[in-house]
Structures are given as structure tokens and as C-alpha cells.
Amino acid sequence: MYVAVKGGEAAILATHDLVAEERRGDVSVPELSVAQIREQMQLAVARVMNEGSLYDEDLSALALKQAQGDMIEAAFLMRAYRTTLPRFGSSVPLDTSNMAIRRRISATYKDLPGGQVLGPTYDYTHRLFDFALMASGEAPEAQTSADRLDAAMPRVPDILGDEGLMEAELPPEGDPRPFDLTRDPIEFPADRDVRLQTLARGDEGFLLGLAYSVQRGFGGNHPFAGEIRLGEVAVEFVPEELGFAVDLGDITLTECQMVNQFQGSKDQPPQFTRGYGLSFGHAERKAMSMAILDRSLKAREFGEAADYPAQQEEFVLYHADNVEASGFVEHLKLPHYVDFQGELELLRKIRREQEERAATMKEAAE
Amino acid sequence: MNTPHHDPDYNFGYLDEQTKRMVRRALLKAIAIPGYQVPFGSREMPLARGWGTGGIQITAALIGPADTLKVIDQGADDTTNAVSIRRFFERVSGVATTELTEDATIIQTRHRIPEKPLEAGQILVYQVPQPEPLRKLEPSEAETRKMHAWAEYGGMYVRLYEDIARYGHVATTYSYPVLVNGRYVMSPTPIPKFDNPKMDDMPALQLFGAGREKRIYAIPPYTSVKSLDFEDHPFTVQSWTEPCALCAANDSYLDEVITDDRGGRMFVCSDSSYCEDRRAKGHVGKELATAEALAYVGHVEGGSDVA
């Protein structure tokens, strides 16, 4: 019997082998270990944890290795693995006011209780190549101050809140369990828990571009970086059978609280409003962008006109997910020849009819 | 056909039982309200969004060890993504797979309905890229849900009318909207409109999964499915002036295959199983020999494929 040639299966298997070979690169160069990626590519590891919605530095490093450093592909690996994990409960809400601070800055006060703590940052580096890194073997050691940081590091919006100048942030009535974006489909209008979860896993580049658009004028808010803090926070869980909180371990977080002006309305006096950003690991650009968008998406709550993309929640929340976006954009690589045949057939038919009509009219004119 | 055992590292069908139950509940609701898009907690799968994750989740929620699965893309079993999805289910469920439409209990498809009429008891699972037929008229999901609730479908007819006014035809050749059970306007997915009439009164159960958009919808067996049209411009399907070049079928959807760089082309069945079956029964198209010379089809002896 005659059958269509089956090239598909063998070719697919061959692509897997090819990609494995390309991933390894020149075998005379030592292979990267997952531990090396975890320790020396920490910011990439953090980004993959954020966009992969899973806090696991080892798996994130493995994902980066397996994906040849492709961030979105690595986040995709994390997401697919995450689906198979059982969900045994929700942690106690994290208390970022009790963070073990490594960096904490405020742009709204020259000094404040706890002080400005610069910590590790590229902010004041000159972007000049450090060619010494081309060689290896250095084990740099930073000098830290002998003074201990203040035990109390109040969060800036809390300071403003005490004065009544900051939009109050209260849990919704009854303090219901938050929506879980990974278990339930998003619906609109979306509540703030949905928004923050979507932004937290959203693509850093997409969020950054939209936040920038708000600053440039495609949105009405002028944000101040009230505070950015980086450090470790304990995750606690209350097992039902114990009835008290158990410490599961520490995670590294970056938190950003933006302070924005608000004109006030007939019900509310003028006050500052907040935008909130939180990300895994050290990810300030992400946390700041998220905070700006959290605020711009409050347009509906504050009765502001939603004229710009960054204020339109369906636009922002539906398109921020890079794993979904790349899947759909790249699905155009799949065969579409059945539909294309339909378009071809229609186009030929319409043109044939037009030519016939033109010929008839020409004849009639002659 | 083969029956490998499933990969013990994963639950049978990949999804955990709780998730399967969630998907089945959505399916039951969808079947109860034909054509209505049911939101569901779509999971992130190891295949990319837009590559069939909605259909895969439905198949994963339904499949049992006794099932026989067929997977097609563009009508063909050997297209790369169909191969990939079939391999996925072979690995995580170990069920039998087939290329024969009549042997399958579950057929997962992208962009086609098989030519051979489906029978009662079979399930056709469609992969859906965009479940919302009104999306091109109205980008907001909050708005389109209201439009469905109010059966506010005038805009859709206006769009079809504008096509007729401009081109003399409705310029939609695939994803041609249908009215299901006289109530909901539904996207049939990007199947060519050629396949739309097959959906009407079909004895098989039709299920639609949109993974990225997190929607499931369904057409129960023997349900009315009407393609939108006008009395003076009735719905028509594509037709070709010549039969399949390989099997001489004149009742199937044909794909155009470019055979050289001088404008040479032939038209062949998009449904590869249908075409093979006809050729096995002795039907010979006028360009079968050419196709063999081009290695577009191989000559098989003793049941093994020649690539």
C-alpha cells in the first residue's frame, strides 16, 4: 500500500539530539555546573523564578542550563514542572517589615529611621568592562561596616500612613483567601490579588516598557520610589494538625512601594496612593515596574479615565505573561496550510471574478 | 498501532486526578450549555501555549487505558506537532494510538475534521487558539461575555454583510462562525469552512479546549450547528475543479503542494488517513507516480514505512 512519507517522528528525535549538542557547545571548554549558574548568575536565576512562578534556585539554574540561557524557555520549564506539584496549603502572610535587610533605599526622604542602606547594587558602577573577569581565580571579599543595622526598619508607606497622608491598605471584607491565578481562570474586572499575581509572573521587559510609558505621559501618575528593600524573609506555615506556625525557611525578596499623587475626589481628601511591587530574589527593575503598573491599574478604583494602555487591565494582564505570549506567537511556526489553502482559493476566486467583470465592461465600452 | 506502558514518573494522563476532575466538571457544564464558553483552571502544560494545551488537557482528563487515540494536525497524522502530541500521550498514558479514523475512540485535532463521518461513541477534541468568535469585533473579554449573554450577534452579521458588499463573498474561509443549538454563536476553531457542515447533527461528541484563553466549550451529539449566512447569500463551502492527485477523491478538502519552481502544483487530500485508505482500496490519482518520484509518498511493502 502507499502511505504518505513519515518524516515527522525521526526528524523530531533528531532535533532533540541536535539541540543537546548545541547546548554543550565546544567540548574543550569545561561544562557549566548547575551550582555555578545558581551562584554566579543569581539575577538570571531570580528572573526565571519570578516569571516561572516558582521559588527554587537549583531548578531555576537547571532551567537556565537546559534552555541555553533563554529566559523565557527557562521560565516555561519551571511553569510546566510547577503544574505537577501538589498544593498543600498557603503560607502565613509574609511580613516584609521584619525583613533581614541587605539593601533599603528611599527616594522620598533624605534620612529615615533605619537609614539608607545601599547594599549590593549596580546603580553607581560605571558601565566599563572589567577585563579582569576574563581571567579567573579571584575571590573578592567586601568590607562591611562593623555597625549593625537598626533592628527597626519601618516601611515608608507605613510612616506616611501614620500621618493619614497615605491611601489606607485594608484587606477586603472578611479577608478572604486570595485568588489563585494558577488554579482558576482570570475574570474581569480583576481584583487586586489577581492583578498583583499576574504582574509578579509577568515579563520583566513588558512590564518595564509599560511602566516607562506611564512615566513618559501615556498615563497620569507621577511615581516616587517611596522605598525599595531587599533581604530575606521567613516563610511560615500553619499545619492543621499542629495549629501553630512552623518556619519553612527564608526566601529572598525585593519589595518596592511607589508613592503617587492623588487629587482626591468628593468622597476622599487629597492623599498619596500606593503602587506595590514584590519579586523573588534581587529584581529591582521588575519590582519597580510592577509597582508603577499596580498604581496605574487602580484607575478604575479611583475613578480616573483609563485612556492609556498601562491603565487598561485587560490589555496589561492578558499580555504580560511571556510564556503564554511566546507560545502563541511561536505557534505560527506550526503548519497552517489548510487555512492558507482556503485563503488562496478565495483570493484566486475574487480576482478571477474581478477580471471577468473588467473584461465584460471593456467589451461593453467597445 | 502500539501499546507502550506509561511513564511511571507521571500520573496516568499527566494531570493529577484533582485537575482531571476540575476539567471534567467544566466539560459537563459545556455539554449542558452547547456552544457556551466555560472558564476553567487551565494548567500549564509541558507543551507550549498555542500548541494544543487546551485539547491536551481535555484528552488527558478523558483518556482511559482502554482508549485508542488518534492525533491530527492539518488533517494529517504525520505533521510534526501531531507526532509530538501523540508521543506525549504514548509516554504519559501508554494507550494505543492509531491513524485510522474508525479505530479511534478519541481524536484530537487541529484545523480539520476527518473526512470519514464520525460515529456515536467517538469523541472529537479540538485544539482552540481563540475561542471567542466576537473577538475581532470587540477586543474586551468583559464586553464579549455580555454580548453572548444578551445574544447580541448583530455585529457579526454586519461583518459578513460588509464582506459580501466589498468582495461579493464572505471573506472568511476558516474559523467561520456557527450558531449552536439556536443559541450561542461559536467559533468552530480554524477548521476550513469546508468542514462546518460536518459539525451539524454529528453523532460524535465534540469538545473544544482553549488552554491559553482558559475556556472549554462543547457540542453534544446530534446538535444543530448552523453556519451564519443570509437567505440571499447562503453558506457555501470550498470546491476544487480537480480531484485529489493521489487518490482521485472528489469529496475531500485538498491541500496545494508545490512540485517545482516553475509553477507546478498538485492538489492532494489534507486528510492523510482518508487518502491512504482510498489508495489501499485501489483508487489511483493521476499524479500518484509523480508524487512517488518526488518522494512525497512512499511505496510500502510489508507494512513498514519507507521514508
* B30 and B112 housed in the same domain: yes
Nearest-angstrom CA–CA distance, A179 and A165:
29
Q: Are residues B46 and B185 in the same domain?
A: yes
Q: What pLDDT, on the 0 to 100 scale, is given for residue A365? A: 84
- Comparing A115 with A207, the larger pLDDT belongs to A207
Last residue of a domain, one of B180, B199, B227: B227
pLDDT 10s digits, B235-273? 999 888 899 999 999 999 999 988 888 888 899 999 999
| Residue B216 vs residues A74, B119, B176, B246, B266: alpha-carbon distances, Å | 28, 22, 18, 37, 37
Average pLDDT, integer, range A34-51: 98
User: Chain centroid to CA B274: how far?
Assistant: 15
Going by the DSSP 8-state scheme, the letter that residue B194 receives in this structure is G
Residue A65: how many CA atoms within 13 Å on its side-chain side? Answer: 17
Q: Is the pLDDT of residue B182 over 90?
A: yes
**Residue B299: predicted pLDDT:** 53
Does B44 sit within 8 Å of A327, measured CB to CB?
no
- Cβ-defined contact of A339 to B174 (cutoff 8 Å): yes
Decide if B80 and A318 are in contact by the 8 Å CB cutoff: no
**CB spacing of A318 vs B194 below 8 angstroms:** no
Element housing A40 (H / E): helix A34-40
Domain residue ranges of chain A, discontinuous segments joined by +: 12-83, 96-120+151-170+179-326, 336-366
Chain A residue nearest residue B75, CA to CA: A338
User: Looking at the structure, do residues B211 and B248 belong to the same domain, yes or no?
Assistant: no
**Contact between A4 and B275 using a beta-carbon 8 Å cutoff:** yes
B131 CB near a chain A CB, below 8 Å? no
Q: How many A×B Cβ pairs under 8 Å?
A: 177
Domain coverage including residue B75 = 17-135+170-227
| CA–CA gap between residue A34 and residue A58 (Å, rounded) | 7
> With contacts defined as CB-CB under 8 Å, which chain A residues touch B253?
338, 341
Residues B71, B187: one domain? Answer: yes
Question: How buried is residue A12: exposed, middle or buried, by Cβ count under 10 Å (0-12/13-18/19+)?
Answer: middle
Helix axes A322-330, A71-83, angle to 10 degrees: 110
Shortest Cα–Cα distance, A226 to chain B (Å): 34
A319 pairs with which residues across the strands? none
d(CA A305, CA A309): 11
Q: Do A341 and B256 touch (CB under 8 A)?
A: yes
φ, ψ of residue B266 to 5 degrees: the values are: -140, 160
**Does some domain include residue B43?**
yes
Q: How many structural domains is chain B composed of? A: 2
Report which of residues B18 and A268 the model is more confident about. Answer: B18
Q: Quick check: B66 contacting A, CB < 8 Å?
A: no
ipTM attached to this prediction: 0.85
Asked if B83 reaches chain A (Cβ–Cβ under 8 Å), the answer is yes
Residue-wise pLDDT tens digits, B41-90: 999 999 999 999 999 999 999 999 999 999 999 999 988 899 999 999 99
Nearest CA in chain A to B129: A328
Whether residue B272 lies within 8 A of chain A, CB to CB, comes out as: yes
**A chain contacts of residue B296, beta-carbon cutoff 8 Å:** 4-5
Angle at B48 between CA B96 and CA B57, to 5 degrees: 45
Domain assignment present for B7: no
Co-location of B244 and B210 in the same domain: no
Q: Does B73 touch chain A (CB under 8 A)?
A: yes
User: What pLDDT does B307 receive?
Assistant: 33
Q: Is A237 helix (H, G, I), strand (E, B) or coil?
A: strand
- Within this chain, do residues B175 and B291 fall inside the same structural domain, yes or no? no
pLDDT digits 0-9 by tens, B102-129: 999 999 999 999 999 999 999 999 999 9
Q: Is the dihedral of CA A313, B45, B112, B121 positive or negative?
A: negative
Same domain as B125, residue B184: yes
Closest residue in A to B256 (Cα) is: A341
Mean pLDDT for the stretch of residues A253-261: 94
Q: What is the pLDDT of residue B303?
A: 36
- B89 domain-assigned: yes
Give the pLDDT score at B298.
Answer: 62
Does any CB of chain A come closer than 8 Å to the CB of residue B70?
A: no
CA distances from B138 to A310, B36, B141, B145 (A): 19, 17, 8, 10
Query: Using the beta-carbon criterion (under 8 Å), do A83 and B45 form an inter-chain contact?
Result: yes
- Cβ distance B192 to A334 less than 8 Å, yes or no, reads no
For the cut 50, the answer to whether the pLDDT of residue B179 exceeds it is: yes
pLDDT at A2: 34
B28 Cβ contact list (under 8 Å, min separation 6): none
| B158 located within any domain | no
Question: Average pLDDT, whole number, for chain B?
Answer: 92
Q: Which residues of B are catalytic?
A: 35, 244, 247, 269, 275
Provide, rounded to the nearest whole percent, the portion of chain A with pLDDT above 70. Answer: 98
Residue A90 CB: number of other CB atoms within 10 A? Answer: 11
**Does the beta-carbon distance from A186 to B214 stay under 8 Å?**
yes
For A59-87, the pLDDT digits (tens) are: 999 999 999 999 999 999 999 999 988 88
**Region B26-38 average pLDDT:** 98
Average pLDDT of chain A, as a whole number:
91
Interface probe, candidates B19, B80, B237, B272, chain A, greatest A C-beta count within 10 A: B80
Give chain B positions within 8 Å (CB) of A66. none
Residue A277 has pLDDT above 90, yes or no: yes
**B216 at A interface, C-beta within 8 A:** no
With b meaning 16 or more CB within 10 Å and e meaning fewer, what string describes A134-166? Answer: eeeeeeeeeeeeeeeeeeebebbbebbbeeeeb
pLDDT at B4: 53
CATH of the domain at B195: 3.40.50.11310
Please indicate whether, in this complex, the C-beta atoms of B39 and A338 are within 8 angstroms of each other.
Answer: no
**Co-location of B67 and B29 in the same domain:** yes
Which residues does chain B have within 8 Å of residue A185's beta carbon, measured at their own beta carbons?
A: 39-42, 214-215
CB contact set of A44 (below 8 Å; sequence gap of 6+):
A37, A64, A69, A71
Mean pLDDT lowest for which of A95-99, A200-204, A315-319, B179-183? A95-99
Kindly report, residue by residue over B278-307, the tens digit of the pLDDT: 999 999 999 998 888 877 776 544 333 333
**C-alpha to C-alpha distance for A93 and A214, rounded to whole angstroms:** 30
Contact status of B16 with chain A (Cβ, < 8 Å): yes
Residues in chain B with CB shorter than 8 Å from the CB of A350 are: 167-169, 171
Residues in a beta bridge with A257: A227, A276
The whole-angstrom distance between B10's CA and the closest CA on chain A is: 8
B246 and B118 both lie in a single domain: no
B252 and B278 share one domain:
yes
In a domain, B142, yes or no: no
Residue B163 falls inside a structural domain: no
pLDDT at A8 over 80: no
Element (H, E) at B38: strand B38-39
Task: State the pLDDT at residue A6.
Answer: 56
